[in-house]
Amino acid sequence: MGLNTGFIFIEKRKEKNDMDRKKLEETILKKAKAGKLPCAMCFKIAEDFKISKREMGKILNAMKVRISQCQLGCFE
């Protein structure tokens, strides 16, 4: 009985994470112009979705979205 309850909890959390990830990707695609997203916008989206900037970078790489207007001057 306890194992099934835990499994259901894990499955529901996974479903929520999948939905959050889908919403995050939709937001990125909506804000990106020509496959690029300004650095400040990346920071804002990461903050809104409560993810680290490092995780945001990994997601952008996986989506093949490039960072533009880098606040540190690393990307143009």
**In the predicted model, is pLDDT for residue 10 greater than 60?**
no
Question: What ranges do the domains of the chain cover?
Answer: 2-68
Residue 1: pLDDT band (50, 70, 90) is: very low
Quote the pLDDT of residue 6.
59
1 bridge partner residues: none
pLDDT in tens, 21-64: 899 999 999 999 999 999 999 999 999 999 999 999 999 999 99
How many Å apart are CA 28 and CA 32, to the nearest integer? Answer: 6
39, 71 Cβ separation under 8 angstroms: yes
The sign one gets for the Cα dihedral 57, 59, 61, 66 is negative
